[in-house]
Structure formats: C-alpha cells, structure tokens
Amino acid sequence: MTEPRPAGLLHSEEEEALRAAVRDLLADRCDTASVLARTASDTPHDLALWKTLTGEMGLAGLLVPEELDGQGATHREAAVVLEELGRAVAPVPYLTSAVVATEALLECGADDLLTELASGTSVGALAVGLHTAPDAAFGTVRVENGTLRGELSGIADAVVADVLLVPADDGGLYAVAATAVTVVPQVALDLTRPLATVVLDGVSGGRRLGEAGPAVRRALRAAAGLLAAEQLGVADRALTDTVRYLKERKQFNRPVGGFQALKHRLAQLWLEVVHLRAASRAAADALATGEDVDITVAVAQAYAAGVAVHAAEEALQLHGGIGMTWEHPAHLYLKRAKADSIAYGTAGAHRERLAALLALPAPCPCP
C-alpha cells in the first residue's frame, strides 16, 4: 500500500473498498444470531472468523511493515476495520492483538513476533488492564532470580492469546508463552471481549523485548485512538437499526418514527454520531501522520464514550419491549459501549489529559 494518502479526513477509494470487503464478510459470517449464541457458550471468540480476517484478508498485519510480511498500511485503514468490527460486535481479538500488542512490539523491534502476529499464526495480548489510560501507571510482575512472579488482572482476550507481553518491575517488557502462565477468566460485562487474570508463578524463559514504559504507552495511545472507531461503529449501527425499526413499527396506524418527539431524539443522536465520525477519523489520521497525536486522541476519547453509550441506550429504549429481551441484539451494543467507556481510560481521564496538554486552568472551586 504505497499509494499517496488523500488530503484531509475523507476516505480514499482503497479504504472504502476495504470497508466493503470487511462488511460483506461480517454480514455473511458474523450475524447477530451467531454472536448471541457465542456469548451464551464457553467459546465466545470466533476463531474461524479470526483466521479468515487474518489468514485470507491479511488484516492483522495492517500496521506491520511489508518487509515483516505485513501490509504496510496505516492507522487509517485499521480504523476502517475496527469501525466495521464494532458495527458487528465481532468477537475477535483484533484491537488487542493487531493494534495493542503489535504497537508494543513495533516499539521494541521484535521482528519475529511481529511476523507471527501479522500472519495470524499467533494472537498477542499486552498484559495491562483494559481500563488503563495511555498516561496512567500500569501493573507489573516481579523479577525474582530470573523468573517472573505475580498476577495482572483485567487483561482483554488473554484467554485466546498465544503470547503475552508482560511488563515487569525491572522496567522490561517480556514475551511469555501463554502455555507458561495460568489464565483465570473474569466476569466481564461485555461477553464478546472477555477479561482474565494472568498468573505467573515463577515463569522462566521469558524473553526481554525492551523497555516497558515506552512500549506500553505507545500501545495504549494507539488503542485509545482507534477505540473511537470501534465506538463509532457501535453507535452508527445502533442508530441505523433504531431508525429502521421505527419506520416499521406502527401505532395508531402510522409509523412510530413519524412522531415529532422521536424525530427530535433521532436527529440529536445523528448529529452526535456525525461529530464522533469526525473525531474518530481525526484520531486515526493523527496516529498515521504523527501530528498532534496526544491532543487528537484525547479529544476523540473525551467524546466517543458518551455518544456510543447514548446511541445504545436509545436503541434499547426505542425498540420498546423487544429491546429488553435477551434474544434481541440491543444488549450486545449497550454492553460493548459501556465496556468501551472505561477501556484505555475514561472520558473524564482523557479530559484531564487534554486540559494538561493545553495548559488549561483548573475550574474555580464552588463557594
């Protein structure tokens, strides 16, 4: 992918083609009925879909250079994929492996592991809690006599990871085979992105990749920026499904969507989604170009969570009684939106970060 990038935030023809290909695949292989069924099973991840996305389409290697068997694309293309995965609430470890773990490995220069992740032969997970903001402190394990000991909780997609990237108290980031640790599933709100506690009880043979600080911060910054694309996908799908339903549902022999009060609610939500699309696109472009990254990512995440949650809540309410049932997919979007609202830092944390970056004065205390 060496073609010149388009100016501004508009999608290129190549990006739109990528979107169409991913959307078609998900429509065929990741319908809501199958996702609902997986959340009620012991295998929430769709590994067959993951193999198609990675092995056949090469999407796990978008951020990996071509010389390492990746696609040599940018965060703009990765954002397109994440938006579509968000629309489908797809239970695949794309954000955690193809973005977070990949960014950490790029910082450390671990070429062999990058090649494995790009090809989809391995799934990677950064052993840092999903709730951790890019500039926040993160948990570490202890280095004792050449072994790693300790436990780290809230690790997303650890249950399907082949390699875990573990930060240690000596300042290093270690690659540890998943077979060498104990992964204990945790109860998670979003069943399509399971969490787990990773227990290391004297693990030896961990490979020190580099300094944990820069790698973790780079990974979490990219995660926060591209998470906005996933939140956009959730919000846009919730809005689209709600509009469709209100056109079909009738009361007093007229479509429910024709009532003025509901039109106002939908119009307000549409504006919020449009604004989120601009913020998300700006964050992806900033990550791709390296310009004003911290500020743009903070702006996107300060706004994205509220819109995604609002859209999912409106979908649940405006679908009426059917939206309250377990069989309807509305709860999938609400759970993903709620879980994403605290992933990689809350909106409040990003607002504080933005204020610090812009040297904004603190608000005056109330009398």
Taking only the tens place, the pLDDT of each residue in 153-163 is: 999 999 999 99
| CATH for 214-357, options being 2.40.128.110, 2.60.40.10, 1.20.140.10, 1.10.10.370 | 1.20.140.10
Name, in order, each residue with C-beta under 8 angstroms of 74's C-beta and a sequence gap of 6 or more: 5, 62, 63, 287, 288
pLDDT bracket for residue 1 (50, 70, 90): very low
3-state SS record for the chain = CCCCCCCCCCCCHHHHHHHHHHHHHHHHHCCHHHHHHHHCCCCCCCHHHHHHHHHHCCHHHCCCCHHHCCCCCCHHHHHHHHHHHHHHCCCCCHHHHHHHHHHHHHHHCCHHHHHHHHHCCCCEEECCCCCCCCCCCCCCEEEECCEEEEEEEEEECHHHCCEEEEEECCCEEEEEEHHHCEEEEECCCCCCCCEEEEEEEEECCCEEEEEHHHHHHHHHHHHHHHHHHHHHHHHHHHHHHHHHHHHHCEECCEEHHHCHHHHHHHHHHHHHHHHHHHHHHHHHHHHHHCCCHHHHHHHHHHHHHHHHHHHHHHHHHHCHHHHHCCCCCHHHHHHHHHHHCCCCCCHHHHHHHHHHHCCCCCCCCCC
Cα–Cα distance for residue pair 152/167, rounded to 1 Å: 10
pLDDT at 307 over 60: yes
What CATH number labels 142-211? Answer: 2.40.110.10
Would you identify the CATH topology of the domain 13-121? Butyryl-Coa Dehydrogenase, subunit A; domain 1 (1.10.540)
pLDDT bracket for residue 9 (50, 70, 90): confident
Min mean pLDDT across 40-44, 246-250, 325-329, 348-352 is at 246-250
Overall average pLDDT of the 228-252 stretch: 91
Cα–Cα distance for residue pair 120/141, rounded to 1 Å: 27
Cα–Cα distance for residue pair 82/177, rounded to 1 Å: 26
Q: What is the pLDDT of residues 65-95, one digit of tens each?
A: 999 999 999 999 999 999 999 999 999 999 9
Q: What is the dihedral of CA 97, 338, 301, 9, to 10 degrees?
A: 70
Domain ranges in the chain are 13-121, 142-211, 214-357
**Taking Cα atoms as reference points, which of 265, 269, 294, 270 lies closest to residue 282?**
294
- The token duo for 31 is 């319908």
**How many C-beta atoms surround the C-beta of residue 160 within 10 A?**
21
pLDDT for residue 305? 96
pLDDT at 301 over 70: yes
For tokens 């906005």, name the residue: 228
- pTM for this prediction: 0.93
pLDDT at 296 over 60: yes
What average pLDDT does the chain have? 93
